Amino acid sequence: MKLIVAIVQDQDSQKLLNALTDDQFRVTKLASTGGFLKSGNTTIMVGTEDHKVDRVLEIIKENCQKRDQLIAPISPMGGNADSYIPQPVEVEVGGANIFVVPVESFGSFKR
Ligand code: 2BA
């Protein structure tokens, strides 16, 4: 079994969630924040059998788009000098950053 952790853009998350659940995958969506841009993104977790990993990756590819994001300058005034960005910067974000992690065991407890 594998756990697929995918960090995607918020704009793609609903479509991706629908596509995964339509294909009978079990999914958890977490609100997350990127360390570099310090802005919101979405982390999707899917636990699935090894032979279904490729299908999950395919669905992620079909539903997550690469986008350019313009970062406005950040003044150091009253803030942390580490986050000082003097010029607008364009960075390419997504479509998805994916980790496929082996799962030692999985179980649900229901009482
Ligand atoms: P952020 O850390 O906010 O990064 C957003 C985008 O900024 C990145 O897009 C990349 O284009 C750029 N970027 C990040 N660090 C940079 C740096 N030190 N110098 C210049 N540009 C930089 P993506 O690579 O597509 O990443 C999108 C989000 O995926 C990241 O948001 C982060 O939340 C997550 N992520 C990416 N790689 C990761 C990793 N190895 N481990 C954990 N999270 C990761």
Residues 36-78 have pLDDT tens digits of 888 899 999 999 999 999 999 999 999 999 988 877 776 666 5
Residue 5 near ligand 1, beta carbon < 6 Å: no
CA of 95 to the centre of ligand 1 (A): 11
Dist. CA 29–CA 63, nearest whole Å: 15
Instruction: Identify the residue whose C-alpha is closest to ligand 1 atom 6.
Output: 93
pLDDT of 75 reads 67
pLDDT of 89 reads 82
pLDDT of 77 reads 64
The CATH code that applies to domain 2-76+83-102 is: 3.30.70.120
CA of 67 to the centre of ligand 1 (A): 13
Q: How confident is the model at residue 21 (pLDDT cuts 50, 70, 90)?
A: very high
Q: What DSSP character marks residue 73?
A: P
Domain-wise residue ranges, the chain: 2-76+83-102
Mean pLDDT of 81-97: 79
pTM of the model: 0.87
CA of 72 to the centre of ligand 1 (A): 17
Taking each helix axis as running N to C, give the angle between helix 53-63 and helix 10-22, from 0 to 180 degrees, rounded to the nearest 10: 140
- Residues 6 or more apart whose CB falls under 8 angstroms from that of 107 comprise none
Mean pLDDT of 3-27: 97
Q: How many residues does the chain have?
A: 111
Instruction: Identify the residue whose C-alpha is closest to ligand 1 atom 19.
Output: 36
| Sign of the dihedral through C-alpha 31, 65, 14, 57 | negative
